Structure 1
Amino acid sequence: MALRLAPNLLRSLRLTSVRAMSQVGGFGEGAGKGGGAGGSIRDAGGSFGKMEAAHEEEYFRKLREKQLKEMRKFVSEETGYHHDEINRLEEAIKRHKKRLAELRKDDSDSD
């Protein structure tokens, strides 16, 4: 299940990054001036449009931070899981080698 979450996190991060880089001109300066058609307040421009643009940018910045935090947690958990698997498999190898040595010793004793 955790492996299925990674592509979704990466996709949403990529979309957020593209959105942030697509602005031309000043934020909230009205339609056709880089502010885009983001609603009646942003269309009008002025200080309310700039304030709305600032709120929108803050939202996306917080969203990006949350996504990065979740991705770091996911990678940390995955890394821990793989370290545990490595340790478990190394122990199994030791057990099997020990058992193989015992079998070889029993085989040589019976000759």
Structure 2
Amino acid sequence: MHIYTLRLGSRSMGGGEAGSGAGKGGGSGGAIRDAGGAFGKKEAANEEQYFRKLQAKQLKDMKDGLEKEVKFHEEQIKAHQEALKRHKERLDKLDD
């Protein structure tokens, strides 16, 4: 059984606009983001896009895993029902 950690919601950079430079909401996320300006904003947008894609992949993986588990349990139920039927038939034969 796999346990997936899924973060719902967007990343927040604090006060100010993301990518606007160090101490202005961009944090100290590297030289480009520290400089601020258009490149800092582009880097912040790229980071947001990365995390959205990562979250979508995690959600898909979790859904696929759950569908696989459901299928497994449905097969187990079917096998158990068939076993119950066989055992009941054997009991009926013993009663005769």
TM over 0.5: yes
Specify the code of the residue in structure 2 equivalent to 1:66: K
Q: CA deviation at 1:32?
A: 1.0
Q: How does 1:14-93 map to 2 (within 5 A)?
A: 14=7, 17=8, 20=11, 22-24=12-14, 25-93=16-84
Query: Which protein shows a greater Rg?
Result: 1
- Alpha-carbon separation, structure 2, partners of 1:23 and 1:98: 67
- The root-mean-square deviation of aligned C-alpha atoms, in Å, is 1.5
- Alpha-carbon separation, structure 2, partners of 1:104 and 1:32: 84
Moved beyond 3 Å, runs of 4+: none
Q: CA deviation at 1:19?
A: 7.1
The percent of aligned pairs where both chains have the same amino acid is 53
Specify the code of the residue in structure 2 equivalent to 1:96: H
1:99 aligns with 2:90: yes
TM normalised by structure 2 equals 0.91
Q: Which runs of 5+ in 2 are unaligned?
A: none
Compare the two structures and name the one with the higher helix fraction: 1
- Alpha-carbon separation, structure 1, partners of 2:63 and 2:40: 35
